[in-house]
Structure 1
Amino acid sequence: MTAKAVTHLNFRGDAREALTFYQAAFGGDVTLVTYKDAGGVQEPAEADQVMFGQVATADGLCVMAYDVPSALPWNQGENAFFVSVRGESTEEITAYWEKLTDGATVLRPLGAAQWAPLYGMLRDRFGVTWVLDVVSEYNA
Structure 2
Amino acid sequence: MSIKLNPYLNFDGNTKEAVYFYEKALGGKVMGIMLFSDMPENPDHPLTDDMKDRVMHAHLKVGDFDLMFSDTFPGMPFQAGGDTVQIAIHPAEEAQARAIFAALEDGGQVVMPLQPTEWSPLYGIVKDKFGVTFQVNMPAEEPCVE
- TM-score category of the 2 structures, normalised to the smaller one: 0.7 to 0.9
Aligned-pair CA distance for 1:23: 0.4
Off by >2 Å, runs of 4+ in structure 1: 38-44, 70-78, 136-139
Report the alpha carbon displacement of residue 26 of structure 1 after superposing the two structures with TM: 1.7
Matched with 2:51 is 46
Report which stretch shifted further, 67-76 or 93-102: 67-76
Q: Deviations for 1:41-70, whole angstroms, at most 9, x for unmatched residues?
A: 63321111110012103x213211110113
In the alignment, which residue of structure 1 is the partner of 2:29?
29
User: Residue deviations 1:62-116, cap 9 Å, x none?
Assistant: 2111101135432236312111111222122112112111111000001111111
SS at match of 1:97: helix
Between structure 1 and structure 2, the one with the greater Rg is 2
Secondary structure of the residue that 2:57 maps to in structure 1?
strand
Matched-pair contact (CA < 8 Å) for 1:54–1:63: yes
SS at match of 1:136: coil
Q: How many residues align?
A: 138
Cα RMSD between the aligned structures?
Answer: 2.2
Aligned to 1:64: 68
Task: Name the one with the larger strand percent.
Answer: 1
Unpaired runs of 5+ residues, structure 1, are: none
CA contact (8 A) 1:115 1:138 kept: no
